[in-house]
Structure 1
């Protein structure tokens, strides 16, 4: 399942819209999972989950994409049994980002955010061989991700 989660933008109404979108996505995924499907969920979640997932967490604590309420939703998602494949396989890796602002040569300086993910339902994690961020591939403010399965 490829997803694009809306950016929180400016204003509380956009955050509410984003959180509602997250909830609707989870409802859809849970129905498919309940039907016995294994799921690979990939795409732009527009949220860095933990401090290790962005270069400057303290400076961005009140910025959409790293707001406590957005991060709490990803906690809920993980708590529902979805595994962040990259972080599961690389729990201590720092400086691994999937998005960089075009402003101030952020990519060149690796001042980025990890907001693109491959998640799988926990029952399917044993089929994951590796999960990589292809930061060397340019052409966008995001880079591709790679997931290999057994």
Structure 2
């Protein structure tokens, strides 16, 4: 596993939330609905960075109430409505690793990143982990596979 320490810039993001187990098919459905909403808003041309934010620790929170947000960068003039909210993505130092696979496989990749932490000279910082989706983000319609970067907020020991 090749982990890189990166500084992510803070961002203001619009989001749509899924409540339920991480890794479930509901997450893929959330992204499909969110991508449609983004396209209707004109956010896909030109593409903007998109983020997935897991708001809860799945080891501590019952799966039925875990919150996952699909997000896209928006400017200060954007006003939320309906099921769309706005939140601040905290910037700072993150341990990041590339991921390629399906929503069912992403939990294992997060576990491997957490297993890397104890001998790294870093500790987890108090902010939710972030999945960063590039401007060319796409989900393979046949396999459900996608690529992103898993980013855990860290601070030095």
TM over 0.5: no
Q: Looking at secondary structure, tell me which structure has more strand per residue.
A: 2
Q: Looking at secondary structure, tell me which structure has more helix per residue.
A: 1
1 or 2 for the larger relative contact order (CA 8 Å, sep ≥6)?
2
> TM-score when scaled to structure 1?
0.30
> TM-score when scaled to structure 2?
0.29
